[in-house]
């Protein structure tokens, strides 16, 4: 009999989307010394056993209708394992053809994670959940990457960069008149001159180096906002889902004002990286104390 068979299992469960750099680098086990890790895909529930152990789910925006059936399988009433969510988000309203206004109500985690044993959510508590019950504010664990320490002091060489979601193009829709943003005076010409990157791929360094070269990042991607903020950049967010209103260190949400005015209004958060790292480290120790060494 092996040590693994003698010990409770430790499973890391997340959306293993190899096309999405945010999903791939949101996994806590990449940054914390957790033993005997087996990685499984949330979207393949038949591969997830019902055995004693600690199952960590996340990170990523797993709280949404498309993942509900998978989460329901995990929270089965006869489960033998402890179930922890780490760095998870939620989207209760999503429209890939729209740009939500700044008054949109932020998503909350209860609809998807209330049956977990502990929930570290990237949703800032202003969304309305009660921190300290099963919920703690724990932003995406990718903040623990040493790349942020290496790149955050990079001197920008350009004013504006665009970082778009691979499934919801931002720049091309504006330039082709397919987005409501195309009606904003002057936005098209500025977007046409700005370099564009997306969350497609797996190379975290490539994405962060792109952001670090720019003073301002315009984005509709969760990790576009998050990573640019951690690098000390100003961020303009064009949200197509309510999960993009859940940041502790909030970006600027431009209205019908010109892009130049929005960039002037945006602010940086030099404390953000330390805040997010501290929250992850505290959650790691809290889970170790509560559920034992895993």
The three-state secondary structure class of 286 is: helix
Confidence category of residue 5, pLDDT binned at 50, 70, 90: very low
Walk me through the domains of the chain, giving residue ranges and CATH numbers.
3-144+274-291 (3.40.50), 146-265 (no CATH)
Q: What is the pTM of this model?
A: 0.93
Q: Reply yes or no on whether the pLDDT at 4 is more than 50.
A: no
Angle, vertex CA 208, rays to CA 206 and CA 211, nearest 5: 110
Mean pLDDT throughout 236-244?
A: 94
Q: What is the pLDDT of residue 261?
A: 85
Mean pLDDT throughout 255-263?
A: 79
Taking the C-alpha atoms of residue 120 and residue 89, their distance in angstroms, rounded to an integer, is 9
Burial (Cβ within 10 Å: 0-12, 13-18, ≥19) of residue 83: buried
Tally of CB atoms within 10 A around 243? 23
Tally of CB atoms within 10 A around 72? 12
Q: Reply yes or no on whether the pLDDT at 212 is more than 70.
A: yes
Taking the C-alpha atoms of residue 161 and residue 198, their distance in angstroms, rounded to an integer, is 11
């Amino acid at each position: 009999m092996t040590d693994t068979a003698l010990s409770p299992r430790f499973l890391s469960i997340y959306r293993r989307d190899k096309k999405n750099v945010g999903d791939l680098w949101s996994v806590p086990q990449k940054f914390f010394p957790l033993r005997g890790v087996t990685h499984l895909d949330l979207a393949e529930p038949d591969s997830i056993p019902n055995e004693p152990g600690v199952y960590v789910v996340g990170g990523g925006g797993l709280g949404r209708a498309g993942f509900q059936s998978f989460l329901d399988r995990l929270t089965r009433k006869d489960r033998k394992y402890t179930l922890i969510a780490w760095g998870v988000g939620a989207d209760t309203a999503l429209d890939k053809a729209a740009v939500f206004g700044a008054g949109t109500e932020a998503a909350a985690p209860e609809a998807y994670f209330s049956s977990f044993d502990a929930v570290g959510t990237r949703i800032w508590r202003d969304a309305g959940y009660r921190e300290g019950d099963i919920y703690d504010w724990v932003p995406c664990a990718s903040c623990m990457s040493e790349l942020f320490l290496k790149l955050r002091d990079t001197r920008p060489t350009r004013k504006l960069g665009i970082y778009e979601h691979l499934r919801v193009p931002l720049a091309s829709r504006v330039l082709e008149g397919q987005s409501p943003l195309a009606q904003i005076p002057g936005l098209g010409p500025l977007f046409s001159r700005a370099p564009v990157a997306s969350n497609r791929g797996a190379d975290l360094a490539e994405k962060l180096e792109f952001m670090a070269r720019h003073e301002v990042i315009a984005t509709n991607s969760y990790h576009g906002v998050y990573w640019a903020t951690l690098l000390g950049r100003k961020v303009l967010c064009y949200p197509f889902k309510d999960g993009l209103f859940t940041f502790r260190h909030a970006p600027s949400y431009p209205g019908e004002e010109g892009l130049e005015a929005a960039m002037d209004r945006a602010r940086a958060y030099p404390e953000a990286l330390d805040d997010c790292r501290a929250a992850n480290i505290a959650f790691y120790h809290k889970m170790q104390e509560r559920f034992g060494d895993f």
